[in-house]
Amino acid sequence: MSQKFKVESKRNINTYAYMYKSANHSLKCGIEEVEGSFYQFMSSLMFSAFTLEAYMNHLGSERIEYWEEIQSIRYLDKLKILYLNLGIEFDKSKRPLQTVIQLVKFRNLMAHGKSESISGSIITDTPSRDPSVKVVETDWEKFCNVKEAQRVIEDIALIIESLNLASGGSKFGLWSLGNGSGSTTLQKP
């Protein structure tokens, strides 16, 4: 007769930390490998947007009794509510909030993507018949680069760390993926 065991587990998952690690990993991959880096920077930017939104939902559900009712409001409005609730100045005229405004615009363009036609021309010393040469780019394409991805990650981290500090949270464990506990017991026949 084989023995049977009951395994029980409880976990707390910090989804925002997973998103943050993904944003950083994509950025690192884009820096290390030039080929395809555009897509890595695009991914990093998207996961950065997801990071802040997931942290707002994490903190909002802890701090604001009616968070479930307002969770679906606009991204920046949720952030402003958290700032005001924690007594932090909400100054959209400078970093890091300026960065968030650009990031939200990018996120929305990606989430609600539409095909478009753009045209333009350049003056160059070298003729090209290569259709992959980018003569014109959309604003979102221009945003997908290492400089922007690095700035966004830095500013998102700064916002989250500021919100965490203002809410009385500890720096220890802020970026942890989570924690858990479990037990195993032998089942009696």
For residue 131, pLDDT beyond 80:
no
Residue 124 has pLDDT above 80, yes or no: no
Helices (H), 87-186: 97-111, 139-143, 146-166
CB 163 within 8 A of CB 58: no
As a whole number, mean pLDDT of residues 112-116 equals: 92
- The tokens for 185 are 């017991």
Percentage of the chain modeled with pLDDT above 70: 96
Q: How many angstroms separate the CA atoms of 95 and 79, rounded?
A: 14
**Amino acid, res. 126:** T
pLDDT band for position 133 (50/70/90)?
low
Q: What pLDDT is attached to residue 135?
A: 76
- pLDDT at residue number 130: 66
- Distance of alpha carbon 146 from alpha carbon 100, whole angstroms: 16
**Both tokens of residue 175?**
């970026």
Give the C-alpha separation, 73 to 83, whole Å. Answer: 15
Confidence of residue 21 (pLDDT cuts 50, 70, 90): very high
Over pLDDT 90: what percentage of the chain? 74
- Compute the average pLDDT of residues 97-118: 94
> pTM value?
0.87
